[in-house]
Amino acid sequence: MSLAIKAQHIANSHLNLKLITPTNKTDFTNTKFRPKPIYRSNPLIYSHKTMQTTTSHSVQNLSIKSSLIEPDGGSLVDLVVTESQRGLKTREAESMPKVGLTKIDLEWVHVISEGWASPLRGFMRENEYLQSLHFNCLKMKDGSIVNMSLPIVLAIDDETKERIGSSFNVGLVGPSGDIIGTLRSIEIYKHNKEERIARTWGSTAPGLPYVEEAITPAGNWLIGGDLEVLEPIKYNDGLDHFRLSPKQLRKEFDRHQADAVFAFQLRNPVHNGHALLMNDTRSHLLEMGYKNPILLLHPLGGFTKADDVPLDVRMEQHNKVLEDGILDPETTIVAIFPSPMHYAGPTEVQWHAKARINAGANFYIVGRDPAGMGHPTEKRDLYDPDHGKKVLSMAPGLEKLNILPFRVAAYDTVDKKMAFFDPSRAKDFLFISGTKMRTYARNGENPPDGFMCTGGWEVLVKYYEGLQTEETTQQPAAISP
Amino acid sequence: MSLAIKAQHIANSHLNLKLITPTNKTDFTNTKFRPKPIYRSNPLIYSHKTMQTTTSHSVQNLSIKSSLIEPDGGSLVDLVVTESQRGLKTREAESMPKVGLTKIDLEWVHVISEGWASPLRGFMRENEYLQSLHFNCLKMKDGSIVNMSLPIVLAIDDETKERIGSSFNVGLVGPSGDIIGTLRSIEIYKHNKEERIARTWGSTAPGLPYVEEAITPAGNWLIGGDLEVLEPIKYNDGLDHFRLSPKQLRKEFDRHQADAVFAFQLRNPVHNGHALLMNDTRSHLLEMGYKNPILLLHPLGGFTKADDVPLDVRMEQHNKVLEDGILDPETTIVAIFPSPMHYAGPTEVQWHAKARINAGANFYIVGRDPAGMGHPTEKRDLYDPDHGKKVLSMAPGLEKLNILPFRVAAYDTVDKKMAFFDPSRAKDFLFISGTKMRTYARNGENPPDGFMCTGGWEVLVKYYEGLQTEETTQQPAAISP
């Protein structure tokens, strides 16, 4: 069975994903954030806001009024041109000077066009770039603040800049040569790579994966402007139906009559410690008075570093976790977050959280060292593992989001299962890092019983076996990253 | 005449500085920012706010109600213990574990204790440090935002950390061994120098002056807490009477019945281009309807890099500029800003502006490439010269300040004077950089007539002559930096 077919199979199995029909008439235009019930005593809950008391959470089954959190800026950005305009807009794009997009650029076009970065309507102009770089947020015309921690920018080289000349608009050409859309009322400004890297990563050490992939080889200019895409971005890798836009996700949450949505960002396989945390969070939300909390299991689908597990394998693994009942398929939505990964720790975790607000999540689970990695040249973590959740809890523009800090789960060698770490019997616990997990799978060894469901573990073992076969036969990798 | 005596002489000459008498009864507790007159048409004025119309600016001579801008956080921080408590507080400090301060640390103690960094009440704890590093601002308990772009932190080494142990409070010991004050309810956290440098400077290149002087040699821990100083910080260099605190400056402005205060931050000698700009700004403020705009000529007095002109020489030079009538002594207040210099461009200029709000300035003149310098290892400016004013105009917490961008002045070779640059006859203008100016002075050459007043120029020539004499006789520098 090919991977594409497998992925299709995953989609058709137990995941709670149905196509969104245009007959869903729920009104999303006036969504409002529902006051949250009181929950002061539980140390799990971080929040900027003092939670408000509410005793009733009754959900009317027939005409549910959406209680989803408002997107940043008040309405979701959607930059896909309408069917009726497509012909005209395509001809216009064809007549403009062209800017070529890399694979990562295209991922950002996808992100912006669907409104994950709402209220951003295109690649950043200098004004937005500087605010993002210095303040991790943008000030709107009405004086309100939205979070915007990563510069979302498009680099061009000298030759392209010269070719654009004094044109106001440019056409965007995808990696395979097809016209993707346009950038209008453009502004071209300097791409000071050193400053961008230093302020985004807090390091300029050689070996930062996104920097090496997307910044060092990029041009010395940035081009900002208003984006339009001619058609929704598709990858034709058998996983597109998992790539639900924020609008589609909001419809799904509404269809599920969700009164709380808690998002779990991940770029790794789900082990039973993750599952424990997600299930525990759901229990807490129920205790808080929510009637129907829905989990958004939201693997990142864009660029990841070479030694991370590829997206299609992860999707298959996630499917097994749901098939095996480790997570409840009835209250879980699995979808792909199309953003590329920066590995920029406290700066990036804000982006991860902000984008999920736009998708309708009002609770966000933050792990130890989110979006972190080892320092590329020194023997230490690149970031203080606690800074991610601290910075997230203080970030301007994220006040409306409830931050749920990750409780540390580890393998309890007495109970033979993943459990929340109990410092009073620390010696009973075994910490299995991502590196350790990959080493087990790579060597065909089994992790301790109860670390991960069998089906999910088999997916990983098969993937690493395949990698080794490739390595021995010296073939280029057949599995796309 | 020794330099100290010279400086005293400066102070007693034409500068508009008088000792503040305790009989000045003006009420500063309820200062309010006066609505600004309309001034939309002039491109000189940058402002976050739309200016409001007001026609009358009448100043009542006898019982003037201060119209000075509010300090950040609503009231000025003042951390000097009262005379009556001094004995007790000194004994307490003596009983605490000690932390030694460097010269630069002491400058920060000075800055914090007088309220330049209001509402900051001590060296930053991690919570404040992270907000400063990531967002360039602090969120107050009431949800309001104050600007805080530079981490104001105190580093300690492993040995000091161990010595402090679990104590809650520490005594601070100055570079010459005297007890300066205390830091209470301390918090010790990691000093990740790479991240601090990268996020503050947007560069980690070797050769950043403040980094080499104050960060690289510092310890791997930061200690935050509530500061108290036992006595006002003094340097006994003959210039202390120029070191007016924000409180003293506010009294001065009020004594002058200022209805607008425009601040000019500088770390270089004043040439006629600077003077043109300051005088031009005053004219504009008068046109705007202000009756008595006061210039705060505010040289930075803390750490500067080795090739900058030392403070005492600059003070003497500034005095000549006032003596020669290039600036009007009646409407100018010269005082020393005690902060050390970071040379951190757009990040630092926010600090320079914010501190002047606390001193009562509601207009701030921002230059090309403020707080900038050449890149230490590449042949380019470290910062885009326009970013300083752009970032300043967008900075959270500085909305109440009117930003006045520097108009470019250059030497007009036709009119033989400093004039605003006219791009239509660009070839007539000569740009004389700080480096060029220092080269003239060092070589005993004269700059073109009209570049700087004769008295001021002579001060510089004498300084550089002195330097050369020292260099040839191989004596260590007798002039303190």
Contact by Cβ (8 Å): B188, B219: no
Bond preceding residue A175 cis, omega within 30 of 0: no
Question: Which residues is B419 bridged to in the sheet?
Answer: B410
The pLDDT of residue B94 is 98
pLDDT band at A478 (very low <50, low <70, confident <90, very high): very low
pLDDT at res. A473? 59
Segment B374-403 mean pLDDT? 96
Q: How far apart are CA B415 and CA B428, in angstroms?
A: 9
Q: Please, what sign has the CA dihedral across residues B468, B472, B473, B476? A: positive
Binary contact (A198, B199; C-beta < 8 A)? yes
A312 has a pLDDT exceeding 70 = yes
DSSP, residue by residue, B364-412: EEE-SSTT--B-SSSSSBSS-TTHHHHHHHH-TT-TTSEEEEPPPEEEE
pLDDT higher than threshold 90 for residue A43: no
Q: What is the distance between the alpha carbons of residues A333 and A256, in angstroms, rounded to a whole number?
A: 10
CATH topology of domain A83-229: Sulfate adenylyltransferase (3.10.400)
* Beta strand extents in A344-443 (DSSP E only): 363-366, 402-405, 409-412, 417-420, 429-430
pLDDT for the residue A438: 82
Taking the C-alpha atoms of residue A31 and residue A26, their distance in angstroms, rounded to an integer, is 10
Choice between A92 and B435, residue whose per-residue pLDDT is larger? A92
Which chain B residue lies closest to A381 (C-alpha atoms)? B192
Of B217, B251, B214, B247, nearest to B232 by C-alpha is B247
Task: Quote the CA–CA distance of B98 and B166 in Å, as a whole number.
Answer: 13
What distance in Å separates the CA atoms of residue B433 and residue A69, rounded to the nearest whole number? 54
Which chain A residues are within 8 Å of B198, Cβ to Cβ? Answer: 198-199, 201-204
B196 close to B155: Cβ distance less than 8 angstroms: no
- Predicted TM-score (pTM) of the model is 0.86
- Please tell me if residue A26 touches chain B, with a CB cutoff of 8 Å: no
- Indicate where chain B has its CATH 3.40.50.620 domain(s): 3-71+238-466
User: How much is the pLDDT for B435?
Assistant: 76
Give me the pLDDT at residue A467, please: 84
pLDDT tier, B66 (very low <50, low <70, confident <90, very high otherwise): low
* Residues B179 and B93 sit within 8 Å (Cβ to Cβ): yes
State the ipTM, two decimals: 0.86
Pairing state of beta strands A221-229 and A260-266? unpaired
Place of tokens 């006051």: A35
Q: What is the 3-state secondary structure (H, E, C) of A18-37?
A: CCCCCCCCCCCCCCCCCCCC
Please give, rounded to a whole number of angstroms, the shortest distance from the CA of B83 to a CA of chain A: 39
Of A149, A192, A396, the CB nearest to B384: A192
Token readout for A345 is: 């720790």
In sequence order, which ranges of A183-236 are alpha helices (DSSP H)? 193-201, 209-210
User: Count of CB atoms within 10 A of residue A130's CB?
Assistant: 22
Q: What is the pLDDT of residue B436?
A: 84
pLDDT at B33 over 90: no
Shortest Cα distance from A384 to chain B (angstroms)? 9
The yes-or-no verdict on residue B278 having pLDDT over 50 is: yes
Cα distances (angstroms) measured from residue A24 to each of A90, A142, A362, B323 = 30, 32, 22, 79
pLDDT (0 to 100) of residue B89: 98
B190 vs B312: CA distance, rounded Å: 37
What is the pLDDT, as a whole number, of residue B248?
A: 98
Please choose, from the candidates B454, B455, B408, the residue with its C-alpha nearest in 3D space to the C-alpha of residue B432.
Answer: B408
B403 strand-pairing partners: B46, B364
Q: Which CATH class is domain A3-71+238-466?
A: alpha beta
Residue A57 pLDDT > 50, yes or no? no
pLDDT of residue A407: 80
DSSP count for chain A of H helices, then E strands = 14, 16
Model confidence over B206-258: pLDDT tens digits?
999 999 999 999 999 999 999 999 999 999 999 999 999 999 999 999 999 99
For residues B156-161, give the mean pLDDT.
Answer: 98
Q: What pLDDT score does A472 carry?
A: 62
Asked if A154 contacts A183 with a C-beta cutoff of 8 angstroms, the reply is yes
* Whether residue A40 has pLDDT greater than 80: no
Return the HEC string of B287-311. Answer: HCCCCCEEEEEEEECCCCCCCCCCH
- Which strands form B409-412's sheet, in the order they lie side by side? B417-420, B409-412, B429-430
Q: What percent of chain B has pLDDT over 70?
A: 84
pLDDT at A470: 73
Query: Is the torsion defined by CA of B333, B114, B355, B196 positive or negative?
Result: positive
Q: Closest Cα of chain A to B158: distance in Å?
A: 18
B131 touches chain A (CB under 8 A): yes
Q: Do B383 and A195 touch (CB under 8 A)?
A: yes
Answer yes or no: are the C-beta atoms of B450 and B419 closer than 8 Å.
Answer: no
Per-residue pLDDT band at A9 (split at 50, 70, 90): very low
What is chain B's alpha carbon radius of gyration, rounded to the nearest angstrom?
Answer: 22
pLDDT confidence bin for A49, thresholds 50/70/90: very low
Which of B198, B201, B387 minimises the CB distance to A203?
Answer: B198
For residue B149, CA distances in Å to A263, B74, B167, B354, B396 come to 32, 19, 30, 9, 10
Helix axes B454-473, B434-442, angle to 10 degrees: 70
Residues of each domain in chain A carrying CATH 3.10.400.10: 83-229
Average the pLDDT over A32-56 and give the result.
33
Q: Using the predicted structure, report yes or no on whether residue B438 has a pLDDT greater than 90.
A: no
Residue by residue, DSSP assigns B243-278 as ---HHHHHHHHHHTT-SEEEEEEESS---HHHHHHH
Question: B126 and A390 in contact by Cβ < 8 A?
Answer: yes
Q: What pLDDT was estimated at residue A368?
A: 87
Phi, psi dihedrals of residue B350, rounded to the nearest 5°: -65, -40
What does the CA dihedral B155, B159, B164, B166 come to, rounded to 10 degrees?
110
* Neighbouring residues of B433: CB distance < 8 A, sequence distance ≥ 6: none
- Cβ atoms of A295 and A205 within 8 Å: the answer is no
Please report, as a single letter, which amino acid is at residue B399: E
Q: Which residues touch A350 (CB under 8 Å, ≥6 apart)?
A: A136, A147, A149, A150, A391, A392, A395, A398
Peptide bond into B119 cis (omega under 30): yes
The pLDDT tens digits for B106-142 are 999 999 999 999 999 999 999 999 999 999 999 999 9
Is residue A140 classed exposed, middle or buried when 0-12, 13-18 and 19+ CB atoms within 10 A define those classes? middle
A409, β-bridge pairs: A420
List of chain A residues whose C-beta atoms are within 8 Å of the C-beta of residue B207 = none
CB of B145 less than 8 A from some CB of A: yes
| Token pair in block for residue A226 | 């208003």
CB distance from A127 to chain B under 8 Å? yes
Q: Characterise A202 by phi-psi region: left (phi > 0), alpha (psi -120 to 50), beta (else).
A: left
Q: Determine the pLDDT at residue B106.
A: 98
**Residue B433 confidence (pLDDT):** 79
Query: Is it the case that residue B37 has pLDDT exceeding 50?
Result: no
In angstroms, the CA B313 to CA B319 distance is: 10
Q: Which two tokens stand for residue A358?
A: 């736009």
Of A199-208, A434-443, B161-170, B356-365, the least confident: A434-443
- B131 interaction partners in chain A (CB closer than 8 Å): 394
What does the pLDDT read at residue B473? 59
Q: B155 is written with which tokens? A: 């580093």
CA dist B409 and B429 (Å) reads 9
- Residues sharing a CB contact under 8 Å with residue A338, sequence separation 6 or more, in sequence order: A107, A110, A111, A114, A116, A233, A243, A301, A302
User: Cα-flanking dihedrals φ and ψ of residue A333, to 5°?
Assistant: -115, 125
Would you call B130 and A391 a contact, using CB atoms and an 8 Å cutoff? yes
Residues 6+ apart with CB under 8 A from B131: A394, B137, B138, B139, B148
Confidence of residue B30 (pLDDT cuts 50, 70, 90): very low
User: What pLDDT does B405 receive?
Assistant: 79
**Mean pLDDT to the nearest integer, A227-254:** 98
Q: Is the pLDDT of residue B63 over 50?
A: no
Percent of chain A's residues with pLDDT above 70: 84
Query: Do residue A195 and residue B394 have CB atoms under 8 angstroms apart?
Result: no
pLDDT at B177: 97
Q: Which helix (H) or strand (E) holds B334?
A: strand B332-334
Q: Is A175:A102 a contact under the CB 8 Å cutoff?
A: yes
> What is the model's pLDDT at position B323?
96
Q: Report d(CA A236, CA B18) in Å as an integer.
A: 77
Q: What does DSSP say about strands A221-229 and B46-47: parallel, antiparallel, or unpaired?
A: unpaired
The larger pLDDT score, comparing residue A471 to residue B309, is at B309
Cβ under 8 Å to B: A residues 395-424: 395-396
Tell me the pLDDT of chain A averaged across its residues: 86
- B140 touches A at CB < 8 Å: no
- Closest CA relative to residue A450, chosen from A429, A464, A435, A466: A429
| Contact between A396 and B145 using a beta-carbon 8 Å cutoff | yes
Cβ proximity of B52 and B369 under 8 Å: no
Does residue B439 carry a pLDDT above 50? yes
- Mean pLDDT taken over chain B: 86
The two three-digit tokens of residue A15, written as one number: 């995941």
Q: Could you read off the pLDDT of A326-349 as tens digits, one per residue?
A: 999 999 999 999 999 999 999 999
Q: What's the sign of the alpha-carbon dihedral A40, A44, A45, A48?
A: positive
